[in-house]
Amino acid sequence: MEQKTWYGEKGFTKNPFSSEPLTKEEAMTKAFVDRTQAKKDLEKFIQEKSGAVIIMSEIGHGKSSIINFAEKVAENSSKVVLRLDPRANEDKICFLKSLCKEVIKKIINHNNDNKNILNDFIKLGDEYQIQSLMNCLKYIFDESPSVLIMDDLDKFLNFKKHIEFIKEVIDLLPKNLQIITTGDINQVRGNSQIVSILYSTFDFPIVLEEVNNINLLKEFIYGRMTAYSKETMNLQFDDNIFETLLDRTRGNLREVFRYLSELLKSGNYAQDNLIRTILKIDIVRLELIDERDKNILLSASGENKDLQEIKKSLKEMNISLTLPTIRARLDELHQNCWIYKMKSKESKKIIYSAPAVFKEMIKIIDEDNNISQSLNHNKLE
């Protein structure tokens, strides 16, 4: 007997808005919406015999899904695929050891007779040398075209700190080992030194298009719903739903899907319910915001402002803060996904903005608090 699920009752074979990346099998289906050019670039690259590419985008824009797509394409091309999870590693030594272990596993799976030959590599200690790794890699790659897949390169090696090491290792790797990895584009922006090393390390970057308008967001949302719909998908959202999602997430699909999953589950697709849904999910983040940060967010809500403009807005709210304090708080809020910052193309200044929906969320909190206080007051009477 088939187990009942909330998404099954809504007419879907699975939750269309799971925040998990698409698996390599799903990435080959209609569930992988758009990214047509990026997929074509990867398919062409995998047909080659060597090289290195890096897939770059903002956080939550589908890098993990497309690298799973690349892994499946490589497997279908009969290449030996090595997959490392950089998030499990902390430094250069760990990276080299993990790569070596993955190679050993593949070699032994390919031919168990190789087990004795590779014992020396298994026993390597902290005094691990790059050349030892190279010898191990060349052993398997001399005849077998192979692809090394690494997701989130910037997470396991500090991109700014270790970019030269990454170049050194990639330059030493066997020429018929292809490398496909991903990175946060914000680690690169505005740093000419990193950009220079990046272009000398990788053949070319594949930059995923930002989801920065309603039409693109609709394409992703309706594409996912259609892919997992049991029958013809008829559910349509009002445009204000997309506007609110874009305002809160700036196109971060992982966050978009997080909110939509709860909205779909509720069955109430009105905008006011979406705002309450966002509030429900963001409540822990909100609890980290003190009164000072709340006022900074309100001063930047829905608009692009530089530091001086934010200071002026705060002054109009009778709040006096120094520019260094405002900058420090904005950077902290940016880390917690409340503030978006970018460099203005016109003024070249750093500008900041907070989601306009933040004001609506604060309004709901204040209204709920007033109702609660009123009820408590009536009880006392």
What residue segments make up the domains of the chain, in order of their start?
35-207, 212-281, 288-361
Give the global pTM.
Answer: 0.80
Q: Is 91 a residue whose pLDDT tops 80?
A: no
Q: 216-274: per-residue pLDDT in tens?
A: 999 999 999 998 998 888 889 999 999 999 999 988 899 999 999 999 999 999 999 99
Q: Which CATH number fits domain 288-361: 3.30.70.640, 3.40.50.620, 1.10.10.10, 3.40.47.10?
A: 1.10.10.10
Nearest to 15 by CA among 261, 255, 266, 236: 261
Tokens at residue 152, please? 């989130």
Angle 181-182-188 (CA atoms, 0-180°, nearest 5)? 125
> Average of pLDDT values for 332-340?
85
> Average of pLDDT values for 275-299?
90
Q: What is the pLDDT of residue 127?
A: 47
Which band of pLDDT confidence, cut at 50, 70 and 90, is reported for residue 366? confident
Residue 177, burial from CB neighbour count under 10 angstroms (0-12, 13-18, 19+):
buried
> Average of pLDDT values for 94-120?
62
- Per-chain mean pLDDT for the chain: 81
When mean pLDDT is compared over 74-88, 145-159, 184-198, 348-362, the highest value belongs to 348-362
Which band of pLDDT confidence, cut at 50, 70 and 90, is reported for residue 114? low
Of 25-39, 119-133, 212-226, 291-305, least confident by mean pLDDT is 119-133
Which band of pLDDT confidence, cut at 50, 70 and 90, is reported for residue 140? low
Q: What is the pLDDT of residue 118?
A: 53
With pLDDT > 90 as the criterion, what percentage of the chain qualifies? 34
Output the CA–CA distances (angstroms, integers) from residue 15 to 1, 106, 293, 315, in the order listed. Answer: 20, 34, 35, 46
Other C-beta atoms closer than 10 Å to the C-beta of 374 total 10
Amino acid letter, 306: D
- Yes or no: say if 67 and 182 are a contact pair by the CB < 8 Å rule: yes
Tokens at residue 66, please? 């497309």
Q: What is the pLDDT of residue 121?
A: 52
Of 113-127, 167-181, 232-246, least confident by mean pLDDT is 113-127
SS3 20: coil
Q: Cα–Cα distance between 70 and 316 in angstroms, integer?
A: 52
Exposure on the CB side of residue 1, measured as CA atoms within 13 A: 2
Q: What is the pLDDT of residue 192?
A: 82
DSSP string, 156-171: HTTHHHHHHHHHHHHH
Nearest to 240 by CA among 209, 258, 263, 266: 263
Q: What is the pLDDT of residue 125?
A: 47
Q: Is 157 a residue whose pLDDT tops 60?
A: no
Fold of 35-207: Rossmann fold (3.40.50)
- Please give the span between the terminal C-alpha atoms of the chain, in angstroms, as a whole number: 55
- Yes or no: say if 338 and 297 are a contact pair by the CB < 8 Å rule: yes
